[in-house]
Amino acid sequence: MDFLRDHSIQNELLLIFISVFLGLCIGAEREYRNKSAGLRTFILVCFGSCLFTILSVKIGIKDPDRLAANIITGIGFLGAGVIFKGDNKIDGITTATTIWATASIGMAVGSGYVYLSLLGTLLVLLILSSLTYFQNYIDHNHKIREYKIVVSNKENLDYCRELFTIHNLKFTVVKQQFSKESSSTTWLLTGKNSRHEDLIQQMMHDSKIDSFQF
């Protein structure tokens, strides 16, 4: 009986160490990219999910899914903490979903599905690393950027439109503000990244553009 108990404890310790290792693998990738949640966060998420799953099997014999189900709720609050609003978009969503996926990997380890957790870790790392290049390719050819451009008179707004057309950038007016001296317009421009760079260089030396920011 003691042998079986010791054997069970050894298996559980092994599962915990596996969860720490898998959390380390994912956390290292996020730490390398300097994201809001890094190495320690992902190790603890994976380890905690694994331990809670083991406990749910041990103490929730009649209803083992109750404790495990609450892991998802807790991870939801944790994920919400790393999402924040950037200048032009919402940042941290990828890190939040990675935390969510890491919790599922920890639960898989705690349930004894080690091969499934290894496959899950491999897929997470593949998605985070390999698809970044594909995302950069899309961003390079379809860059969406918001510009705030100040000109001295209303007629120069038409000049801005001509400028965008010359650089093959699609444009949409987001917001406008007028005063007696100048007008400030926020534009949403879409096009290749190289076109954006050419536009910036021209506006820096254009006498009709008082100021701009993006």
pLDDT tens-digit series, residues 122-156: 999 998 887 777 777 887 888 888 899 998 876 67
Amino acid at 7: H
pLDDT at 2: 40
Residue 127 has a pLDDT of 87
pLDDT at 60: 63
Q: Check: CB of residue 174 under 8 Å from CB of residue 187.
A: yes
d(CA 87, CA 214): 9
The domains of the chain are located at 2-139, 142-213
Q: pTM, whole model, 2 decimals?
A: 0.69
**Distance from CA of residue 186 to its chain's centroid?**
26
User: What pLDDT, on a 0 to 100 scale, did the predictor assign at position 64?
Assistant: 62
Which residues does the chain have with pLDDT short of 50?
Answer: 1-7
DSSP code, position 82? T
C-alpha span between 25 and 19 (Å, rounded): 10
Identify the bridge partners of residue 147 per DSSP, sorted by sequence position.
187
- Site of tokens 């290749």: 192
Q: For the domain with range 142-213, which CATH number is right: 3.40.50.720, 3.90.470.20, 3.30.70.260, 3.20.20.80?
A: 3.30.70.260
Reading phi first (left if > 0) and then psi (alpha if -120 to 50, else beta), residue 103 is in alpha
